[in-house]
């Protein structure tokens, strides 16, 4: 395998299954001298915790982060930082009635095909629990980016077909969906309630904006900034599509409409989403991801059992109605991790003869 490491200079390696003893991450390549304690990690882990929103599972995880190495007197030392979060509330027992059934839309069938092992206890590495490591690592990335004046925010711009028509970031923190449109948030609430009653689930769209990103990040031609961001975001469990700036809308525009005019005070529009030829332009980075509905639903579905016989499945366990808004902080994490790696890479590149 060997696919659990991300980054070239700022590298993270995540580990841990949803039903094992713990999950965690090793960060390698962090600059020294950055203030970093378990409290920094906790703030971000708390944001991704279930229980905060009506879309989320009732599973309770204290998610207490422990930093095992790489810091001294509250600052990074330049050596690898190991962060561990124990799994306290994993109940494998709730899965016993579906242990012989493949779950539609779920990775249990492909994991078994790849590794030849059926781990029926839950999602394993395919569980959202795996993202604890990503978010923990990103808490340091955010700290570094903050010092460079870069900030990242992921807003829910669609849920269950309900679209946000505003970008009111103050409203965003006042509804449980992280939606920057209070009216849309109310409509989402009704939609979530209805779907939950049907034992079904919902998808949506998250828009991530990074401001303060300097021009010059991105390494053509295979590690362009947008390519790296797209790979990182598509690697989040529920994501099925990624677009930059105008994205799929750009496919319907003419060059004259889509090109962002350049003026002495900057770009007059931002259809490019902050990237030209794979290199950041100085304009805000704008990305949107399509988040599929949670595959584990209680509504009965057609499937097969492990001997290949047809069967019906009703997933019980504890599952969210939507990955949104818990996935939002993961989107922010992936963008932060890509940006901090490219910032460090650009420091080396920017040296000139």
CA angle 339, 340, 345 (to 5 degrees): 95
Among 65, 224, 325, 328, binds a copy of itself (CB under 8 A): 224
Among 93, 170, 197, 310, binds a copy of itself (CB under 8 A): 310
- Determine if 349 is a binding residue for a copy of itself (CB under 8 A): yes
Residues 92-111 binding a copy of itself (CB under 8 A) are 102, 104-107, 109-111
Site string (123-162) toward a copy of itself, x via CB under 8 A: -xxx---x------------xx--x----------x-xx-
Q: Which residues pair with 151 in a beta bridge?
A: 211
- Determine if 80 is a binding residue for a copy of itself (CB under 8 A): yes
Residues 53-72 binding a copy of itself (CB under 8 A) are 66, 68-70, 72
- Determine if 230 is a binding residue for a copy of itself (CB under 8 A): yes
**In this chain, which stretch among 53-61, 80-88, 164-172, 181-189 interacts with a copy of itself, using CB under 8 A?**
80-88
The DSSP 8-state label assigned to residue 294 in this structure reads: P
Among all chains, which residue has been given the structure tokens 């994993």?
90
Q: Least distance (Å) from a copy of itself to the CB of residue 326?
A: 16
Site string (6-45) toward a copy of itself, x via CB under 8 A: xxxxxx-xxxxx--xxxxx-x-xxxxxxxx----------
Residues 184-223 binding a copy of itself (CB under 8 A) are 195, 198, 200-205, 215-223
- Helix or strand holding residue 290 (H, E): strand 285-291
Nearer to a copy of itself, 51 or 235 (CB): 235
Query: Which tokens hold the place of 295?
Result: 């595959």
Burial 138-172 (b: 16+ CB within 10 A, else e): bbbbbbbbeeeebebbbbbbbbbebebeeeeeebb
Q: Which residues pair with 85 in a beta bridge?
A: 23, 65
- Determine if 168 is a binding residue for a copy of itself (CB under 8 A): no
CA angle 76, 78, 82 (to 5 degrees): 70
Taking Cα atoms as reference points, which of 71, 64, 67 lies closest to residue 82? 67
**In this chain, which stretch among 43-51, 52-60, 174-182, 244-252 interacts with a copy of itself, using CB under 8 A?**
244-252
Among all chains, which residue has been given the structure tokens 């579906």?
98
Tell me how many residues contact a copy of itself (CB under 8 A). 160
**Sign for the pseudo-dihedral over CA of 106, 107, 108, 113:** positive
- Determine if 284 is a binding residue for a copy of itself (CB under 8 A): no
């Amino acid at each position: 395998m060997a696919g659990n490491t991300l980054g070239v200079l700022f590298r993270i390696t995540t580990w841990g299954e949803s039903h094992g003893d713990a999950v965690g991450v090793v960060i390698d390549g962090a600059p020294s001298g950055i203030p970093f304690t378990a409290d920094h990690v906790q703030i971000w882990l708390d944001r991704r915790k279930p229980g905060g929103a009506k879309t989320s599972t009732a599973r309770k995880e204290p998610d207490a982060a422990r930093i095992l190495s790489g810091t001294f007197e509250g600052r990074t030392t330049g050596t690898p930082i190991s962060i561990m979060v124990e799994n306290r509330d994993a109940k494998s027992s709730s899965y016993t009635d579906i242990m012989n059934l493949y779950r539609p839309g779920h990775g249990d069938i492909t994991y078994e095909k790849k590794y030849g092992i059926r781990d029926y206890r839950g999602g394993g590495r395919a569980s959202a629990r795996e993202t604890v490591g990503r978010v923990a690592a990103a808490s340091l990335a955010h700290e570094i980016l903050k010092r460079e004046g870069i900030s990242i925010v992921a807003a829910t711009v669609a849920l269950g077909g309900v679209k946000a028509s505003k970008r009111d970031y103050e409203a965003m923190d006042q509804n449980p969906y992280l939606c920057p449109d209070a009216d849309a948030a109310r409509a989402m609430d009704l939609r979530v309630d209805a779907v939950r009653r049907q034992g079904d689930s919902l998808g949506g769209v998250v828009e991530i904006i990074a401001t303060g990103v300097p021009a010059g990040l991105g390494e053509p031609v295979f590690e362009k900034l947008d390519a790296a961001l797209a790979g990182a975001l598509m690697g989040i469990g529920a994501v099925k599509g990624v677009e930059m700036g105008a994205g799929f809308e750009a496919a319907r525009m003419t060059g004259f409409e889509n090109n962002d005019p350049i003026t002495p005070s900057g770009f007059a529009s931002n259809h490019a989403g902050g990237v030209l030829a794979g290199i950041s332009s100085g304009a805000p980075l704008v990305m949107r991801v399509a988040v599929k509905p949670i595959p584990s639903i209680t509504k009965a579905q057609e499937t097969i059992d492990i001997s290949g016989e047809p069967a019906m499945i009703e997933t019980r366990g504890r599952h969210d109605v939507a990955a949104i808004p818990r996935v939002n902080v993961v989107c922010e994490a992936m963008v932060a991790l890509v940006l901090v790696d490219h910032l460090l890479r650009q420091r080396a590149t920017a040296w000139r003869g």
